[in-house]
Structure 1
Amino acid sequence: MNDMNNVWRLYVIRFFQSLIPAYVIERLFWEQRGMTIQMVVYTEIIYAVTIVLLEVPSGIMADKWGRKKLMVLSAFLGCCEFLILVFATEFWHFAIVVFLAGIARSACSGSENALLYDSLLLNGKEQSFEKYQGWLNGFDLIAAIIAAVCGSLLANRFGFELNYWLSFIGMFVSFCVSLMLVEPVIKSDTSESIAIKEYVKTSIRFFYKNPGVCLVILSGMITGAALNFIDEFWQLYINRLGIPVIFFGVFSACLMFLRLPGNMFAYALKSRFRYRSLLLGVTALFAVGFFYISVVKDYTSLMVIFLICLCSGIIEPITTGYLHHRIDSNIRATLDSFQSLGSNLVLIIMSVGFGFFSARLDIFGGYGFIGFICGGFFVYFFLVSRS
């Protein structure tokens, strides 16, 4: 069977896993079912802890026993999440949901990229990984935009519960398609099977011997975490600028839409510019951009936010591709999971500073802190990458 069929199947899986109209009214639905803000915070902690604990073990399992199995598990748990939420009325119902969501996220994070890369490798197209991963992210963003726009309209007319049934259907479609995935035959530099306890040692040894890879991945972690603070707190920012809530949906759609070009054409930029030039340019833009929106509090800041989102699209395909082109398929999912784990840890660390300055200087102070971090990393990257 042609392993390239895995590519379009991954596109379909990602599309329907992101076509979730429930997300646009999630907090309102949870509140309707009795979840207070404090309870939501508790569930967020459960979700974060689950991911941190399972990120690397799930990558090891994917390398040891197959990436398809982890993809199927992730999609199945996604179905369970929304089926439980439809009938959820107690805190422990929601706690179970976020626990399953954490497992599903961990199972998918390393497996998806590893399955994509090895499918391309078997067909001699591994050098186009950035192109295919960019399109994979593109399908993700398109589905999220459709879900956000349609979800609000459907909820307004038919109530919140319908959105959850539709989300369950989307997850069920992705589950069915995941069963059609083909486990690619791994091309490895070694024919020996690696003991489970050796996966972590081998991964740490790889990063230790490849400081250049660590630097590139770290740049993706820093910029990815910085972008997360726009995703999570743009509502507060534009509210401070006096923009009416009626425009929030359009603004959200614009933030996602602007990331499409970067994701879809990152492969073309990679062939024209050096990795160092691309990453330095984006990091510098992030530093200047976050400083600008923290100091200049008018509508021009919105244009800067749009510019940050436009340029951010190239980061994930570039940094993830840089890693996968340099690793052996035997530990591909494990190393990808280490990258994801690192991203979450960087996000947690930056969140502490963001929260500290936001509490004292409002959202503007928080964004100023992020600008400072990006600026400091730009100097570090510029100096270290010269060698």
Structure 2
Amino acid sequence: MASNVYKLYAIRFFHSLIPAYVIERLFWEERGMTIPLVVYTEIIFAVIVLLAELPTGILADKWGRKPMLVLSAIIGCLEFLLLVFATEFWHFALVIALTAVGRASASGAEHALLYESLQLAGKKSSFEKVLGRLAALDIAGTMVAALCGSLLAASFGFELNYWLSFSSMAVCLAVTLMLAESDSSAIDSEGEKAGQAAQTEPGTMKQYIAASLQFFRAHPGAALVVLSGMLIGAAINFIDEFWQLYLDRLGIPLLAFGLFSSIIFLIRLPGSLLAYKLKNRFSYRTLITVSLLVSAAGYIFLGAIRHESGIFAIVLICLFAGMIEPLATGYLHHRIGSSSMRATIDSFQSLALNAAMAATGLGFGYFSSLLDIFGGFGFLGVVCAIYTGWYLIVSRRISD
């Protein structure tokens, strides 16, 4: 099972080695996709993920992690193949719908397979460390793709980047087929030996949902950490999706896009790699509070100041956001007792993230249509500021 970790490293790297992403918004805009239309596809994505997250998480718990990861990889290949020929809104909407199913299929399954592989190898305490390394490989692949992608796009046009991205996803599929399925019975028997109470596996979707909600009621701290990670992740998604248009509005040349993309992903590395150490030195409340404050101030600045200095605000937001995923995911998984519910409960984390993306996407699209991209970022700043105030009040009452 230890070999799964290295295979997941390779999958994450090639899944991020997507040169199409560095020019994605420009390619979509060239094909007639305005900011509001792009936001509509983001909402479609979020809604479908909301509908698919729990069913795919349950299937990962019942049928196994690998089948869902294979499905996700197949859809990833199909995504870039279809985008090459997309020319109308419904083409892009179809691709986004398929991508949403693929994302939902992998979200709970990947973390569950990783945690259980480490658990069987006696290394579950290193979960956050491995998550940080996965994030680092994610960033490395993104950086290489961004630097090469911007140069290739400037020299050969946008379409070549999509064919190269399809090739990278084909490699992901090949490696995914080599993964070994985790042995849930062996994991649960180890848990019983360690003194954990055995849990009866739910049978129906209703029972899975009820059991998951009961878990969050029993662990209010986990619910709050997931909720905070949800907001920070949803907000930074709009930076990842629209920074190209932001730089374009500031008059930054296309050749600089690859460098900027590399910077905003590279700056997340320290937080991702050191999250497992930071949680031992600072409380979760402190780390999350700082990230929320930086996010609120940064997005408000982006909305209010239409100047190149906004680039530094984006860098600062990304710096503190880098540690949130390993912290929130690790906090959650260390409190899940049985493997029979691991993927389903993890899916709630992704479900919450996409619910936030759908809700904030409406406001982001509305204010972007009124005040261009700057209005959208300003809206995110106000949302983050309001949530931060609520979090500071509620988090004092919860101990977990």
Superposition TM-score, scaled by structure 1 size:
0.89
Question: Compared with structure 1, are the counterparts of its residues 99 and 354 closer, same or farther at alpha carbon in structure 2 (3 Å cutoff)?
Answer: closer
Q: Distance in 2 between matches of 1:243 and 1:41?
A: 23
Tell me whether 143-152 or 233-242 shows the greater mean CA deviation: 233-242
* Matched-pair contact (CA < 8 Å) for 1:6–1:116: yes
- Corresponding residue for 1:218? 227
Question: Compared with structure 1, are the counterparts of its residues 35 and 346 closer, same or farther at alpha carbon in structure 2 (3 Å cutoff)?
Answer: same
Q: CA deviation at 1:52?
A: 2.2
Aligned match for 1:80, one of 68, 73, 78: 78
- Corresponding residue for 1:19? 17
- Corresponding residue for 1:344? 354
**2:152 maps to 1:154:** yes
* Matched-pair contact (CA < 8 Å) for 2:47–2:355: no
Q: Distance in 1 between matches of 2:232 and 2:103?
A: 21
- Corresponding residue for 1:140? 138
- Which residue identity is paired with 1:98? I
- Corresponding residue for 1:61? 59
Q: How does 1:176-195 map to 2 (within 5 A)?
A: 176-186=174-184, 187-188=187-188, 189-190=197-198, 192-195=200-203
- Corresponding residue for 2:238? 229
Q: Which runs of 5+ in 2 are unaligned?
A: 189-196
Q: CA deviation at 1:345?
A: 0.9
Q: CA deviation at 1:325?
A: 0.7
Match of 2:183, SS state, is coil
What does the per-residue CA deviation read over 1:335-385, in whole Å, with 9 as the maximum and x for residues that have no partner? Answer: 111111111111222223333444444444433332222222222222222
Superposition TM-score, scaled by structure 2 size:
0.87
Q: Distance in 1 between matches of 2:268 and 2:324?
A: 10
Tell me whether 280-289 or 245-254 shows the greater mean CA deviation: 245-254
Q: Distance in 2 between matches of 1:168 and 1:259?
A: 26
**2:303 maps to 1:305:** no
What does the per-residue CA deviation read over 1:227-277, in whole Å, with 9 as the maximum and x for residues that have no partner? Answer: 123223333434444444443332222111111111111111112111111
- Corresponding residue for 2:214? 205
- Which residue identity is paired with 1:123? A
* Matched-pair contact (CA < 8 Å) for 1:64–1:196: no
- Which residue identity is paired with 1:308? I
Q: Distance in 1 between matches of 2:330 and 2:275?
A: 10
Question: Compared with structure 1, are the counterparts of its residues 361 and 141 closer, same or farther at alpha carbon in structure 2 (3 Å cutoff)?
Answer: same
- Which residue identity is paired with 1:140? D
Question: Compared with structure 1, are the counterparts of its residues 91 and 344 closer, same or farther at alpha carbon in structure 2 (3 Å cutoff)?
Answer: closer
Q: Distance in 2 between matches of 1:281 and 1:39?
A: 33
Q: Distance in 1 between matches of 2:245 and 2:156?
A: 28
What does the per-residue CA deviation read over 1:30-53, in whole Å, with 9 as the maximum and x for residues that have no partner? Answer: 677x66558867755553443222
* Matched-pair contact (CA < 8 Å) for 1:85–1:94: yes
Aligned match for 1:260, one of 262, 269, 276: 269
What is the RMSD computed on CA atoms of the aligned residues?
Answer: 2.6
Percent of pairs with identical residues: 54
Q: Which runs of 5+ in 1 are unaligned?
A: none
Match of 1:385, SS state, is helix
* Matched-pair contact (CA < 8 Å) for 1:19–1:167: yes
**2:396 maps to 1:386:** yes
- Corresponding residue for 1:370? 380
Q: Distance in 2 between matches of 1:305 and 1:143?
A: 20
Q: Distance in 1 between matches of 2:355 and 2:155?
A: 40
